[in-house]
Every structure is written in structure tokens, then in C-alpha cells.
Amino acid sequence: MVPILLCSILSLAIFLERLWVLRKKRVIPSEFIVQVEHLLRAEKISYAIELCKQSDCPISRILLNGIKNFGRRREDIKVIIEEVGKREAAYLDKYVENLSTIASVSTLLGLLGTIAGMIKVFGVISVQKVANPTMLAGGISEALYTTCAGLSVAIPTLIFYRYLTGKSDTLILEMEEYCLRMVELIKERQR
């Protein structure tokens, strides 16, 4: 039961930390996007670069690399943005995969407890000629408690995993759309 409890604490900690990190206003702050777009339209590239350096969000780090390469070909800028975007996507997905592992492990720990409880039951049966229901109840209850505990941790953890994966994927897609829009804006200004 102790490892299952540790799994539940770890699962909740990862979920809460990722919820905090994956807030849209932290990943893609709308006021930042508006400011960068305004600066690019006004052809104030150096100000846009400074704004990106001052902002500590994934989209700013991606756009910074695109804007720094202002004079290059569209394809080159796009490749640079994609490279940085992959790193930022990995940051957004950090620890999320661990939730899937925790869900699997807690289920298996519950199963292990079930097996341990059943071993006790069969141990009592093999020693006694007449099985006393009271003596069997301890092993059966251990089996049921650990199964219940394992599933009680695994099910919410799997839900956390699916929710955070979806949230991360949505944010990554939105960042890609903003970056493509900024690349087009940069190319318009170069003409």
C-alpha cells in the first residue's frame, strides 16, 4: 500500500505542476502576441527582438529565433522556428509521460497486493484442514484493498495524463499557428 500511496502523491504533484506550467497565458500570452505583431508591422525588428528576450514564455523563445533571422529566406526561418519549437514542445510535454507510467505501475502494484493476499488465503487453507472463514477474511480483504487502492490511483492518473496530453497538444498547435503567422508577417516586411 505504501508504494501505491507514493504513486498517488507523485501523480498529483506532476498533475498540479503541469497544470501550472500549461496555462495558456503563461505559454502564449495574448498581450505579448499583439505587441510582437504590432512591432513587426511597424518594422521595429530590434524592439521585437528585445520584447522576445524580456518575455519568459515558450512562444517568445520560438519567435525570437525567427525574428533574429529576419533577412533570411522564408524556408530557412521556418526550419529555425521548427527546431526551437520542438524543444519548447518537449518542455511542455515534460513529465506528462510519467503519468502513464504511474497509472500502469499503480495498477500492477494493486495486482501484486491481490496476489499476496490470495497467497495468504491459500496458505491458511493448506495448513488447516477445515477452512475458518475468519482466518481467510484477512487475506481476502488484503487482496481487495490493494486492488481497490491501485485502481483508485490508476484511474485518476490516466485521466490526468489524457487531459494534460490534450492540453499540451492544443497549445503546441496554437504556437505553430502563431509562428507561421509571424513568419508570413516577417516575409511581408522583407518585400
69-120 pLDDT per residue, tens: 877 887 888 888 889 999 999 999 999 999 999 999 999 999 998 898 888 8
Q: What is the pLDDT of residue 140?
A: 84
Q: What is the pLDDT of residue 130?
A: 67
Q: What is the pLDDT of residue 136?
A: 73
Low-confidence stretches of the chain (pLDDT beneath 50): none
CB within 8 Å of 111: residues ≥ 6 apart: 147, 150
For residue 152 the three cell numbers come to 483508485
Task: Tell me the C-alpha distance between 122 and 102, whole Å.
Answer: 30
Query: For the whole model, what pTM was predicted?
Result: 0.83
Task: Tell me the C-alpha distance between 11 and 101, whole Å.
Answer: 10
How many helices and strands, by DSSP H and E, does the chain display? 8, 0
Q: What is the pLDDT of residue 189?
A: 64
Residue at grid coordinates 489524457? 162
For residue 9 the three cell numbers come to 502523491
CB within 8 Å of 178: residues ≥ 6 apart: 28, 33, 59, 63
Q: Among 148, 155, 161, which Cα is nearest to 111's? A: 148
